[in-house]
Amino acid sequence: MAVITIVGAGVMGSALTFPAADNGNEVRLVGTHLDEEIIQSCRSQQFHPRLRRPLHPAVKAFSHTEIAQAMQGADIIGLGVNSRGVHWAAQAIGPHLQPGQIIIMVTKGMESVDGKLQILPDVLHDHLPPSIRDQVKYAAIGGPSIAGELAARHQTSVVFVSRDADILPRLRAAFSTNYYHIWTSTDIIGVEVCVALKNPYALAVGLAAGVLERKGADIAGAKMHNYAAAVFAQGLAETAILVQKLGGGLETVFSLPGAGDLYVTTQGGRNSRMGRLLGLGMSYSDAVEEMPGETIEGVDAVISIMPAVEAMITRGEIPADSLPLLRELYRIVTRNAPVEFDFNSFFNKLPFNPPESLQSS
């Protein structure tokens, strides 16, 4: 049995407590300063209001003011804050970390740091106190996992990843259940780039629903699946370009963390809803008003990533025309631009050589 402390009482961090507790571990759930109402509900009723179900009865809830107590004696620290909260989390957990503890990140995203893209486990490392940052181990979770489904104990398959292969069997043993299936990998760059990019590209796929509504009903009921499929495929191709450029493995893109996670993220949630609103013709500034209080990770990711992408283009590390979908998303969300994809710009810079019969003329 392990002692597992999850920091961040949002839906994904909280959902992870289910397999952790089902495995017989001692599980502690710590809210951030934004989670006080959730923690109060968990304490008084053992009910999570955002997951809309009772927590596992063995899970103990803690306020952010009790983080020192919640982390005391923990073997594994799960980080379930959103991408904006990583710097806060480093400050919050840093003083209480002990050598040998494992941090496993549920948080998804990347940051532009000095003109280069940095994955969030490395961002966390660099913002922890120097005295402890190299005394703990780092891991992350990638792959298709909708929080509500995991909390319902529906079949879920994910990848646990770390540069330190020795800790992966321990993590797998702590969390694996008959419904939570875990594969392991040391390709932390590949996994983290995939899971960071799935949100903006899922938003892009969501545009199709709004574009269809704006056009109005077709006489024969035709949908926009062709539109959505082309955007999905281009998003996957652009993900592969950046994964390879940053040193990750191409095979990761076409497995659970890449294709799998992108697929599941297109099936609903905040990014898809934002995509629909933009596809309807709303400016981003107006669409945000329709989703008050919600963090749109796809938008945050585009805004965080693009400065480094532009710097990479300036340095000649990637061609200027290799990421047309990502650059168009940036234009849409930062300039309130209308949705006008040039589909002929897609698939011209694939991360591999296609068969000659598929090459554009």
Q: Which two tokens stand for residue 97?
A: 């970390």
Q: What angle do CA 236, 242, 244 make, to 5 degrees?
A: 100
- DSSP letter assigned to residue 258: I
Q: What are phi and psi of 205, to 5 degrees?
A: -65, -35
Residues 144 and 262: their CA atoms lie apart, in Å, by 7
For the chain, the residue count is 361
- Cβ distance 156 to 149 under 8 Å? yes
Any alpha helices (H) in 216-296, and if so which ranges?
225-246, 250-253, 261-266, 270-279, 284-289
Q: What angle do CA 52, 57, 58 make, to 5 degrees?
A: 130
Amino acid identity, position 57: P
Amino acid identity, position 99: P
**Residue 24 contacts by C-beta under 8 Å, 6 or more apart in sequence?**
1
**CA dihedral sign, ordered 201, 203, 205, 208:** negative
Residue among 60, 108, 137, 198 flagged as catalytic: 198
Identify which of 200, 238, 208 has the alpha carbon closest to the alpha carbon of residue 348. Answer: 238
198 is catalytic: yes
Residues 187 and 338: their CA atoms lie apart, in Å, by 37
- Find tokens 């694939």 and name the residue: 350
Residues 44 and 54: their CA atoms lie apart, in Å, by 11
How are beta strands 60-62 and 26-30 bridged, if at all? Answer: parallel
Positions marked active-site: 198
